[in-house]
Each structure stands twice: as C-alpha cells, then as structure tokens.
Chain A
Amino acid sequence: MDTEPCDVAVCGAGPAGLAAAAVLGRAGLDVRLLDENPLPGGQLLRRSRKPTRGGLDPARRQGLRLAARSKGQNFYGKPLQRVIGIFADGEVLAVDAGHRLVRLRPRAAILATGARERYLPFAGWTLPGVMGAGAAQILVKAHGILPARRLVVAGAGPLLYAAAAETAAARGRVLAVLDQAGWREHWHLALALCRQPTKMLQGAAYLIRLQAAGCRVRCGWRVVRAEGRERAQRVVAVRSAPRGRPSNETMVFSADGLAIGWGLVPNLELAQQAGCRLVHDEHRGGWVVDTDAALQTSRPGIFAAGEVTGIGGGAKALVEGELAAFGVIDYLGSRLGGQVAARRRWLNHRRRRELSLGRALAAVTRVPPEALAGIPDDTVVCRCEDVTMGDIRRAVFSGADSLSALKKTLRLGMGICQGRTCGPVVLDLLALLTRQSPATLPPFGARAPIKPVTLGALAEGRSP
C-alpha cells in the first residue's frame, strides 16, 4: 500500500487538535485529523452521541462547537485512527478500527495527543472495580452508566470532584471524596482560579452538588487499601500525617467502586518515538515536549499543542492548537492574513495565563514522598508484568539507578501498556529511592508501534 500525501497530519482530535485543524482548514490546507476515539473532542468533551450544550466551561463550549463543525468538514478523516508512529522519513503510520494501516506523508504534523491520569499504586488497586476518576467520568458522561453503586473517589486534583459530582448528578451514590492535598495546596489553586471565574464557579457547583448528595469531602486523606475477593468491596483510607506526625486515623467504606487519580501526565509516546526532545518542568507536570515559541518541536515540521507541552487544561489546549496551526502555516510557507500577528500576541498572552493555572494544578496533585515511601513491598506497581514495590526496592538496592536499568532487570514497563501506567510513578519512586532529581531521570522511551497492532495488519498487502 502506498503512502498518501497531504499537507498536515494532526494527531489527536482533542481541543488542541480540533482548534489546529480548524485554522489549517480555513487556510486551505489538506488536513488529516487522526484520533483513536470514535468521536472527536478528546478528554475535555468526552461526550455521548447525544447533543450537549457544554455547561459553564467556555473551553468546553468552544470545543463542542469545533467538534460539531469538524464533522461536516472534509478534513476530519474517519474516526478510530490510531497513530502508531512517525518515522524518520516523515511518514505517519496509523491503524484503523478494522486493523488496516493508514499511511500518510504529510509536509508537517501536529502532535496533540493530550494527557492521561497518573495513578499511585496501593494494596488492592488491581482489583476490578478500582478505576481511574477519568474512567468513572467517561462512564457517566459519555455512556450514562454509573461507575458503581457505592463509589469512593480518592487521589488528588480537581478531576476527582468532577467525577464525583457528575456521578452524583446521574443519581449515583458517592460516599466520599478523599483528597490527598491539604488545605494549603488548595489555597494556591483557589488563588490561581480567582483569575478564571468560570472555573471557580464550576468548582463551587461541584462542591454544592456533592454536599447536597450527602457525600463526605475530606482533604488530607489518602487511600491505602482496596479489599475484596474478585472485585473491590471495601476501601480503607488514612489521614495523612500532618507535618510529619504519624496518624492512625482511618476510615473504612463499604464500596463496590473506587475512582482514583493523582492529576495528569502528558502522552509523550508519539513525540518520543518521533524523536522530539523533551524537557523537564515540574510546574508543567514533569517531562513535556520541548518546543520553541511557535510550538515547533526539536524535529523540524513537527509541532506540539495541548497537554503534551505541559498540563494546563482545555483552554490552554485550544489556544495552543491555534498557535501551532499558525506555526505550521508559517513553516509551510503559506501566507498568513493581516490580523494574525495581533491574534498571535493575544493567544500568547492567554497561554501564559493558562500555564499559571497548570502550575497550581501541579502543586495540588504532587504526590508527597511519604505516600510513595509508604507503598508496601507486596503491592503491584507494574500491572502488565506484575512487578511489585519490593522488586523495585531490591533492584535499586543492588544498583539499578535508572528506568532503563529497572526495565532490563525487572521487565518493568515492558508489558503491553509499555510503561504508560507505571512509568510516571516509577520515575518519582526512583528519584526518591536513589536521591536523584527527577529532571536527571529520563522517562521510558517509546518506539513504533507506540500502541499494539496486529501482525496481520502490518503484513497486509505485502509479499513475504
């Protein structure tokens, strides 16, 4: 099968990718928008097929408008196209839902692969019924299904409240929201939100809804154990030690569902595989794609937008999508209209504002060292290869001091998810155990295919 030429491949149809594609489409370029989900919109929209208005959040409303429009425009390719690699010669390789390869040769590409949740391992977190807060949100929001009959939500970050409130709104029973961050961290977030009244309102609405639904909201608590045979039946949480003092205050919930999450980490695999340089910035969520002011990565012609350049939310993603599109238009030598310079200035200004929100988010979702240090030896950390905390401690003790060394000794991160789930937290663990700065520890590498693809798909149409 031959490669199909086009102007721009936009990888990811979240807010960033949608915003970019809209600008590029208006500039008359041949754009392919590729996303592995059945519907455009990314994590911000995560809507069902039924029309929704988007509620309070302006970013979500704008995203919805873009998503609705993208369907009518011919540049929105078929859905369910998973990009599995961008090769040295510029070829973008994707695979569709029917296990067929899609081969594009664009003149430029935008990486808008978004973010995923960060999970902290604890005893019993592999039990069915323990799921990401995002997963709970997707079940209620996109599918109208309750994540559990009795749900506990635990971890850190605003997503917990969104998941809990949306479950409560669908008349689900939410027993508690256990936020690991204390009031101090929340105070910083509240300050940052002062400049974003709609987000503030949204947060308040969540809290009011949870209060009304009889859900306990507790800060400074963390989940230590999920128990049950075959599936989660009980959740045990302890109060975090205030200022180092030990605490033995515990709460036990009888719950069949536990939604967890400790903030977001960017989906860097495509950028890494493509050979784009990363930088470490703890205010933007750790390792992120390095870009110049026009959002071009270290690889010429490849741009990045949205969560991959730093966790900052939907509004930042929309702004960056547009900026990256302008960058691409410049790069391709197409002409930009007259008002673009002013628009770019305004977008850059917005971007800085949203980045400061990201900084506050990073602070509330930071996992404190004692939470990492307290993971028991028999807890599974790498779920694909069943590597435990004890395995990691022993390997570090006998000299493994990098992710790649841990990988070679323990097979950690070598399973089918390729370290996506455990990688971010193992990096924190390694930094803690070896007293290295996280900035000196490179994350797991990524290689094509960045997500699994059948040999049949790869072999099709090719003589042996």
Chain B
Amino acid sequence: MNRHQRQNSPAQGASPRRATAPEPAPIIIRVNGRPVPALEGQSVLAALHAAGIRTLRRSDRHGEPRGALCAMGVCFECRVTINGQPGIQACMTEVEDGMDIRTDGY
C-alpha cells in the first residue's frame, strides 16, 4: 500500500483558495505496522486515502472489501482498529503522531 502514497499525495494542500496559512505539521502514523505520513488535523480516513488505502475492513458476513462511504460518521463502513480499540470510525477521528491503525478488522 505504500506504493501509492507518493503518487497520490500531490493534491495535499493544493486547493487554490488559500495561500497564507501555515502548513500543518507532518506526522507519522502506523498502518498495519508500516509507517505512513500524515498531516496534523487530518482525519484518519484522509490520511489513509492519501496513502492509497481504500479497503478499511471486510464485511463480517461475506468477507468483502469495504471502504469509506459517507466520510461523515453515518455509515460506519470506515471502522478501523486504532491503538487496539476496534470499531473506530476513521472519518471521525483525527490522526495523532504514532497512532497505530489496523485495517484488518471486520
């Protein structure tokens, strides 16, 4: 999954509207044991998305891949395990330096 992250990241901060603000600080999170760069203030979902990670869990009945649908806390499709606590919504949680994220839940 690390393969995608460099290719997909140029859009970070590329929105044309803003220029003056200070850049958010880069931090490192761990996803399934591997380091992934993220920016302070980002949601876990955004950080994973920027790293090219789309599958966040498997459906518990048939094991199908599932990823974020609503990104606003409604659908619960983005559940990941964060620092050992399963079932956390990636879209509603902000990244923290050193955060341990697992996407092998169901």
**CB < 8 Å: which of B15, B43, B55, B73 contacts A169?**
B15
Closest CB in chain A relative to B73 CB, distance in Å: 6
For the complex, give the distance between the alpha carbons of A286 and B15 in Å: 36
Closest A residue to B20 by CB, please name it.
Answer: A51
Q: When A97-B93, A149-B8, A231-B55 are in contact, do A132 and B70 touch as well, CB less than 8 Å?
A: yes
**CB < 8 Å: which of A138, A171, A417 contacts B11?**
A171
For the complex, give the distance between the alpha carbons of A147 and B13 in Å: 14
For the complex, give the distance between the alpha carbons of A214 and B50 in Å: 24
Q: When A36-B92, A231-B54 are in contact, do A384 and B76 touch as well, CB less than 8 Å?
A: yes
Residues of chain A lying within 8 A (CB to CB) of residue B11? 140, 144-146, 170-172
Asked whether A386 lies within 8 Å of B41 as measured between CB atoms, the reply is: no
Asked whether A138 lies within 8 Å of B71 as measured between CB atoms, the reply is: yes
Asked whether A144 lies within 8 Å of B13 as measured between CB atoms, the reply is: yes
Residues of chain B lying within 8 A (CB to CB) of residue A143? 12, 42-43, 46, 50
Cβ of A196 within 8 Å of any chain B Cβ, yes or no, is no
Closest B residue to A49 by CB, please name it.
Answer: B41
Q: Which of B61-106 contact A (CB under 8 A)?
A: 61-62, 64-77, 79, 85, 87, 91-94
Asked whether A52 lies within 8 Å of B18 as measured between CB atoms, the reply is: yes
Which of A38, A144, A230, A416 gathers most chain B CB within 10 Å?
A144
Residues of chain A lying within 8 A (CB to CB) of residue B67? 127-131, 231
Cβ of A43 within 8 Å of any chain B Cβ, yes or no, is yes
Residues of chain A lying within 8 A (CB to CB) of residue B56? 128
Closest CB in chain A relative to B14 CB, distance in Å: 5
Asked whether A55 lies within 8 Å of B17 as measured between CB atoms, the reply is: yes
Asked whether A383 lies within 8 Å of B77 as measured between CB atoms, the reply is: yes
**CB < 8 Å: which of A131, A132, A144, A383 contacts B12?**
A144
Cβ of A5 within 8 Å of any chain B Cβ, yes or no, is no
Query: How does the 8 Å CB contact mask read for A415-458 relative to B, with 1 for contact and 0 for none?
Result: 11100110000000000000000000000000000011010000
Closest A residue to B55 by CB, please name it.
Answer: A128
Q: When A135-B72, A172-B11, A417-B74 are in contact, do A48 and B87 touch as well, CB less than 8 Å?
A: no
Asked whether A117 lies within 8 Å of B70 as measured between CB atoms, the reply is: yes
For the complex, give the distance between the alpha carbons of A169 and B17 in Å: 9
Cβ of A141 within 8 Å of any chain B Cβ, yes or no, is yes
Asked whether B75 lies within 8 Å of A420 as measured between CB atoms, the reply is: yes
Asked whether A135 lies within 8 Å of B69 as measured between CB atoms, the reply is: yes
Residues of chain A lying within 8 A (CB to CB) of residue B76? 384, 415-417, 452
For the complex, give the distance between the alpha carbons of A147 and B66 in Å: 16
Asked whether B65 lies within 8 Å of A128 as measured between CB atoms, the reply is: yes
Cβ of A134 within 8 Å of any chain B Cβ, yes or no, is yes
Asked whether A48 lies within 8 Å of B71 as measured between CB atoms, the reply is: no
Asked whether B49 lies within 8 Å of A145 as measured between CB atoms, the reply is: yes
Residues of chain B lying within 8 A (CB to CB) of residue A43? 72
For the complex, give the distance between the alpha carbons of A139 and B91 in Å: 10
Residues of chain A lying within 8 A (CB to CB) of residue B33? none
Cβ of B59 within 8 Å of any chain A Cβ, yes or no, is yes
Asked whether A50 lies within 8 Å of B59 as measured between CB atoms, the reply is: no
Count residues of chain A with CB under 8 A from any CB of chain B. 56
Closest CB in chain A relative to B104 CB, distance in Å: 14
Cβ of B35 within 8 Å of any chain A Cβ, yes or no, is no
Closest CB in chain B relative to A234 CB, distance in Å: 15
For the complex, give the distance between the alpha carbons of A416 and B61 in Å: 13
Cβ of A385 within 8 Å of any chain B Cβ, yes or no, is yes
Cβ of A221 within 8 Å of any chain B Cβ, yes or no, is no
Q: When A49-B24, A145-B50, A146-B8 are in contact, do A171 and B14 touch as well, CB less than 8 Å?
A: yes
Cβ of A119 within 8 Å of any chain B Cβ, yes or no, is yes
Closest CB in chain B relative to A438 CB, distance in Å: 21
For the complex, give the distance between the alpha carbons of A415 and B61 in Å: 12
Residues of chain B lying within 8 A (CB to CB) of residue A139? 45-46, 49, 71
For the complex, give the distance between the alpha carbons of A450 and B68 in Å: 20
Residues of chain A lying within 8 A (CB to CB) of residue B87? 416, 452
Cβ of B26 within 8 Å of any chain A Cβ, yes or no, is no
Closest CB in chain B relative to A106 CB, distance in Å: 23
Query: How does the 8 Å CB contact mask read for B37-59 relative to A, with 1 for contact and 0 for none?
Result: 00001110110011000111001
Query: How does the 8 Å CB contact mask read for A205-245 relative to B, with 1 for contact and 0 for none?
Result: 00000000000000000000000001100000000000000
For the complex, give the distance between the alpha carbons of A213 and B55 in Å: 29
Closest A residue to B92 by CB, please name it.
Answer: A36
Asked whether A119 lies within 8 Å of B69 as measured between CB atoms, the reply is: yes
For the complex, give the distance between the alpha carbons of A135 and B90 in Å: 12
Residues of chain B lying within 8 A (CB to CB) of residue A384? 76
Asked whether B66 lies within 8 Å of A50 as measured between CB atoms, the reply is: no
Closest A residue to B87 by CB, please name it.
Answer: A452
Residues of chain A lying within 8 A (CB to CB) of residue B77? 383
For the complex, give the distance between the alpha carbons of A51 and B59 in Å: 38
Asked whether B12 lies within 8 Å of A135 as measured between CB atoms, the reply is: no
Closest CB in chain B relative to A299 CB, distance in Å: 24
Which of A131, A145, A171, A172 gathers most chain B CB within 10 Å?
A145
Closest CB in chain B relative to A157 CB, distance in Å: 15
Give me 10 A-to-B residue pairs in the complex whose CB atoms sit less than 8 angstroms apart, sorted by A's number.
A36-B92, A129-B67, A131-B68, A132-B69, A139-B49, A147-B49, A169-B16, A231-B55, A383-B59, A421-B75
**Known pairs A417-B76, A452-B76 / 5 extra A-B pairs, C-beta < 8 Å:** A37-B73, A126-B59, A134-B71, A140-B11, A421-B75
